[in-house]
Amino acid sequence: MDERIWVAGHRGMVGSAITRLFCSQGRNVITVDRSILDLRKQDEVEFWLRANKPTSIVFAAAKVGGIIANSTYPADFIYDNLTIQTNVIHGAHKAGVDRLVFLGSSCIYPKFAEQPIKESSLLTGPLEPTNEWYAIAKISGIMTCQAYRKQYGRRYVSVMPCNLYGPNDNFNLETSHVMPALMRKFHEAKVTSAKEVVVWGTGAPLREFLHVDDLARGVVWCHDNYDEYEHINCGAGFDVTIRELAETIARVVGFSGDIVFDVSKPDGTPRKIMDSSRIRALGWKPEISFDDGIASTYRWYLANIDAKNRAA
Ligand code: GDP
């Protein structure tokens, strides 16, 4: 049978990286725009699946956002994510699609999980409150895949990435994650010769950052080979403080003013580095260094976002 891989969420940072990689391997990816198919509409999703007959699905569609967006719009985060993933997973089963890769996030783990966090830490303690709505939706997604495997033998698997960054990220300062937010803040401070840049929180939290092209290789590998009930972690294997991240971005961007911490903004979870030894034992490892990844993402930002802003 000819391969037809549906990458759901192909316009986002993760979905676009996975689509690029599949296409570079000469594989047949199918996509559908949000304006044509609203994944929150169950009937439309089921109709689209019957009509387009994917042979497998990579589910990279999600309502995502940074720490303030998550805690400001909890209803949107839980409703959109629960609805779209349930429609796609259940619809996949009904349409006879036997293979699906569900993408989650390291925020599924308890706030005070033992570090580095093993897959087995799931559901062993309370979640970080700033993103518990998103986390509960993602935990439900993992369990939905497991349920269809258990009841119907479907080969549905889940991959949990750490914090990601790279081309096609969201650079909106209100809704973005820390990496694109700081890249934009430092860049704008440099071009306006501002004296300081404000970074949220204390600067002490630790985060694990993986370039999205490295994640894409892990996801494509899992799509082709991974077939287990338990979800699998996919992380960089090291973490940095938000202060170190800010200093690195300032250096790459060429900003030499002050970095000021706004402690009225939340820190979120103190640390969430994952134990990715299972996927590493299967042969995957990151290839893009932190400094190179930040430098190439900044070049992408300059060529795409900043150029667009200047043209507008
Ligand atoms: P998280 O990993 O789910 O907490 O999501 P974020 O990427 O939004 O935030 C990571 C950490 O970076 C938190 O401690 C934030 O307070 C901190 N941070 C510092 N400055 C910023 C900023 O400008 N935007 C965002 N989103 N986070 C920031």
Instruction: Enumerate residues 6+ apart whose C-beta is below 8 A from 162.
Output: 106, 207, 208, 209, 210, 233, 234, 235, 236, 272, 273, 274
What pLDDT score was predicted for residue 312? 66
Tell which atom from ligand 1 comes closest to the C-alpha of 266. 16
pLDDT tens for the chain, 312 residues: list them. 699 999 999 999 999 999 999 999 999 999 999 999 999 999 999 999 999 999 999 999 999 999 999 989 999 999 999 999 999 999 999 999 999 999 999 999 999 999 999 999 999 999 999 999 999 999 999 999 999 999 999 999 999 999 999 999 999 999 999 999 999 999 999 999 999 999 999 999 999 999 999 999 999 999 999 999 999 999 999 999 999 999 999 999 999 999 999 999 999 999 999 999 999 999 999 999 999 999 999 999 999 987 777 776
CB 64 near ligand 1, within 6 Å: no
Q: How far apart are CA 197 and CA 255, in angstroms?
A: 9
281 alpha carbon to ligand 1 midpoint, in Å? 31
312 Cβ contact partners less than 8 Å away, ≥ 6 residues apart: none
Asked whether 161 lines ligand 1 (CB < 6 A), one says no
Which residues, including other chains, have CB under 8 Å from residue 51's CB and lie 6 or more apart? none
Residue type, 146: Q
Determine whether 134 is an active site residue: yes
Asked if residues 93 and 43 have their Cβ atoms less than 8 Å apart, the reply is: no
Ligand 1 contacts CB of residue 188 (under 6 A): no
Which residue among 64, 67, 73, 259 has the greatest number of ligand 1 atoms within 8 angstroms of its CB, and so is best to mutate? 67
Query: Ligand 1 atom 1: the closest Cα is on which residue?
Result: 67
Atom of ligand 1 at shortest range from CA of 272? 2
Q: What integer pLDDT is reported at residue 143 of this predicted model?
A: 98
Q: What is the pLDDT of residue 181?
A: 97
Alpha carbon distance 269, 118 (integer Å): 16
272 Cα to the center of ligand 1, angstroms:
13
* 72-79, Cβ contacts within 8 angstroms, sequence gap of 24 or more: 74/133, 75/133, 77/131, 77/133, 77/134, 77/137, 78/133, 78/134, 78/136, 78/137
Report how far ligand 1's centroid is from the alpha carbon of 135 (Å): 16
Q: CA–CA separation, 85 vs 258, rounded Å?
A: 43
276 half-sphere exposure, CB direction, 13 A CA radius: 26
Taken in order of first residue, the domains within the chain and their CATH numbers are 5-307 (3.40.50.720)
End-to-end CA distance of the chain: 47
Look up residue 17 and give its two tokens.
């990286």
Q: Does any ligand 1 atom lie closer than 6 A to the CB of residue 103?
A: no
**Residue 274 and residue 218 in contact, taking contact as beta carbons nearer than 8 Å:** no
- Check if the beta carbon of residue 199 is closer than 8 Å to that of residue 242: yes
Closest ligand 1 atom to residue 182 Cα is: 23
CB of 76 sitting under 6 A from ligand 1: no
| pTM of the model as a whole | 0.97
Helix pair angle (178-191, 242-253), 10° resolution: 40
